[in-house]
Chains A and B, each alone.
Chain A
Amino acid sequence: MKHSILLYILISGGVSYLIRVLPLTLIRKPIKSRLIRSFLYYVPYATLAVMTFPAMVESTGSPVSGYIALLAGIYLAWKGRSLPFVASVCCIAVLVTELIMHI
Chain B
Amino acid sequence: MKEKKKDFTVKADWLRGMKDGMPIALGYMAVSFSLGIVMKKAGMNPFEGFLFSLLNLASAGEYAALQVIAADAAYLEIAIVTLVANARYLLMSTALSQKFNPKTPLIHRFFVGYGITDELFGLGIGEAGWLSPWYYYGALGISALFWALGSAGGIIAGNILPARIVQALSVALFGMFLAIIIPPAKHDKAVAAVVICGFALSFLFDRLPFIHVSSGTKTIILTILIAGIASVIAPHEETGGDQA
Contact = CB atoms under 8 A, between A and B. Distances in A.
Interface of A: 1-3, 5-17, 19-25, 27-31, 34-56, 59-61, 66, 69-70, 73-74, 76-78, 80-84, 86-95, 98-99
Given A86-B178, A90-B175, A5 B48 contact: yes
A98 B227 contact: no
Given A24-B97, A86-B178, A60 B232 contact: no
How would you classify the secondary structure of chain A's contact residues: helix, strand, loop or mixed?
Answer: helix
B178 A47 contact: no
16 contacts: A5-B48, A5-B69, A8-B75, A12-B78, A12-B82, A14-B55, A17-B114, A20-B116, A37-B244, A41-B231, A45-B195, A46-B223, A50-B223, A70-B174, A76-B179, A86-B176
Contacts of A8: 65, 68-69, 75, 78
How would you classify the secondary structure of chain B's contact residues: helix, strand, loop or mixed?
Answer: helix
A17 B113 contact: yes
A29 B74 CA distance: 34
Given A15-B83, A52-B178, A53-B202, A28 B55 contact: no
Contacts of B85: 43, 47
Nearest to A59: B170
8 tightest A-B CB contacts, nearest first: A49-B198, A13-B55, A90-B175, A77-B182, A21-B113, A38-B231, A87-B175, A23-B93
A33 B65 CA distance: 28
A11 B78 contact: yes
